[in-house]
Amino acid sequence: MREAQVIVAIPDAWSLPGDTVTMTLNIDNQTERDDPIAAFQSHLTYSDTFATVLDVQPTPRIDGLFDWNIPDPGRLIIVFATSELEAIASGTGPVAEITFEVNPSVTVGDSTRIHFDRVVLSDTVGIAIPLRVQDGTLFLGTGIKGDVNMDGEVDVLDAVWMINYILERIEFTTFQFWAADCNEDDAVDILDVVGIINVILGLGTCPPTSSLAKIAISPASIWSPGEEAEFTHGRLELPLAIRSEHDMTGIQLILGYDPTALHPQAPQLRGRASHMKLDHEWADGRWVILIYNPDGTSIPAGSGSILTASFSMRNSKSTTQRPMIEISEALLAGEGCREIPVDIYPINLKGDLQPETWVLEQNYPNPFNPTTTIIYSVPTTELTPWVSLKIYNIVGQEVRTLVNERKAPGRHRATWDGKDEEGRKVSSGVYLYTLSAGGTSRDLQGEFRATKRMVLVK
Ligand SMILES: [Ca+2]
Ligand SMILES: [Ca+2]
């Protein structure tokens, strides 16, 4: 006998006591070797004390005769035949929708199996087509807000499901969405996550938003401190700061960015958010970041950077425009699952994507002991230029060579440890540092030369 290719199945569904729920009867006959289906007969059994069939409707895949009947309680027969017994189009998906009404007195957590008792598929000349069946299960949700995975308990597993849903890693069924939307505002977000954490820890409840007393909450603000945003060659460090007069139990951020120019890296918590937990996911120019803490602690009120979002740049050599980045959404959770309104400021990037000119920056710290850092920038040129950075004493004698090689475009940093070429500590006083660059050879003729002073103190 040939292996059955056609699958007749009823996918699982979830409902609550007293609700109606529609389950689908699917036929999967999408492979080309399948025999054409001209007619179908199915006998289904289910618990009639659990649910009652209200209606059965064909889907557009069915064109022809369609009928159904309940000869005995708990038994459903569905029959259809295509017009003039021509084959129904191959494909996958529902051919019928069965609407059940769930008995209001059924115990939550129960389920009933929708069982294929007998199924016959006929081809166009009346020969049975081999098939496989897959029973479905109608689950009754526990009716507990927060019990997303429907195991009867509200615990950290449910919080993880919610986080994965918000980060768009998984999808929810209608019932799971209902269970996850603890504060009943028709959205599943960080407010629900911190609500469920409070419930798990016994710190409080996750009341419906509509039941919260209307009290004035002063708005927070979120921005990227531009003076800190730093483009270095091939990389952007984007700090994000929040000012809030209220403690924050959780934060949900969505950053929009140009995915053709930027590639998100791991974000890092900073400052007063360092103790929090962070999870994130990005795709197609949307970067969703969640900040929360399973132990219920919050980010204290205050002002300053809480996060650095880093990007690497794609095709940085050919890009000279600053790529688009914005804070698309910011949702702040306060005490008791209250939402803290937030003003979002546009991101104004100050750093250049790539330096367009030679720059020799003032060393820091200065005065210094024992080490200091010197930053210099190499512009974009067709050929990688030769660069030298040397230290001289005040009478012009060479003390140390820090750099003497080709350097790629971008900002570079060099460190001087206050020692000469032989590794001896030099005496305190004024020193000069000179950046020479140019051409593509060691002669360093002409292109750029700059000198600055620094002071070594003892
Ligand atoms: Ca659960
Ligand atoms: Ca919600």
Whether 421 has a pLDDT exceeding 50, the answer reads yes
SS3 127: coil
What's the chain's Rg over C-alpha atoms? 34
Is it true that domain 359-456 has CATH number 3.30.70.360? Answer: no
% of the chain with per-residue pLDDT over 90? 49
Is it true that domain 6-140 has CATH number 2.60.40.680? Answer: yes
**Ranges 147-151, 247-251, 268-272, 400-404: which has the least confidence:** 147-151
* Highest mean pLDDT pick, 66-75, 384-393, 432-441: 66-75
Cα(345) to centroid of ligand 2, in Å? 25
* Highest mean pLDDT pick, 154-168, 172-186, 230-244: 154-168
Residue 104 burial (CB < 10 Å; 0-12/13-18/19+)? exposed
Cα(155) to centroid of ligand 2, in Å? 17
Residue range 299-303: mean pLDDT, rounded: 94
Whether 362 has a pLDDT exceeding 80, the answer reads yes
Please give the order of strands across the beta sheet that includes 325-333: 277-283, 286-292, 250-257, 325-333, 339-340
Q: From CA 452, how far away is CA 434, in angstroms rounded? A: 7
Cα(206) to centroid of ligand 2, in Å? 9
Residue range 328-355: mean pLDDT, rounded: 80
Write the CB contacts of 190 (distance below 8 Å, at least 6 apart in sequence).
Answer: 166, 250, 251, 252, 290, 292, 331, 333
Write out pLDDT tens, residues 368-403.
998 999 988 887 666 678 889 999 999 999 999 999
Cα(338) to centroid of ligand 2, in Å? 11
Predicted confidence at residue 417, as pLDDT, reads 94
**Ranges 60-69, 217-226, 283-292: which has the least confidence:** 217-226
- Structure tokens given for 171: 């999808």
Binning pLDDT at 50, 70 and 90, where does residue 233 land? low
% of the chain with per-residue pLDDT over 70? 89
User: Is pLDDT larger for residue 27 or for residue 318?
Assistant: 27
- State the ligand closest to the CA atom of 190: 2
User: Is pLDDT larger for residue 367 or for residue 439?
Assistant: 367
Predicted confidence at residue 422, as pLDDT, reads 94
Q: What is the DSSP letter of 68?
A: E
Binning pLDDT at 50, 70 and 90, where does residue 445 land? low
Q: Is the pTM above the cut of 0.75?
A: no
Binning pLDDT at 50, 70 and 90, where does residue 152 land? confident
Residue range 89-93: mean pLDDT, rounded: 84
Predicted confidence at residue 199, as pLDDT, reads 87
Domain limits, the chain? 6-140, 156-210, 220-344, 359-456
Predicted confidence at residue 317, as pLDDT, reads 46
Cα(116) to centroid of ligand 1, in Å? 30
Asked whether the domain spanning 156-210 has the same topology as the one spanning 6-140, the reply is no
Sign of CA dihedral 95, 101, 103, 104: positive
- State the ligand closest to the CA atom of 200: 1
Predicted confidence at residue 29, as pLDDT, reads 87
Domain at 156-210: CATH architecture:
Orthogonal Bundle (1.10)
Cα(340) to centroid of ligand 2, in Å? 14
Nearest to 37 by CA among 76, 117, 106, 95: 95
Q: CATH fold of 220-344, please?
A: Immunoglobulin-like (2.60.40)
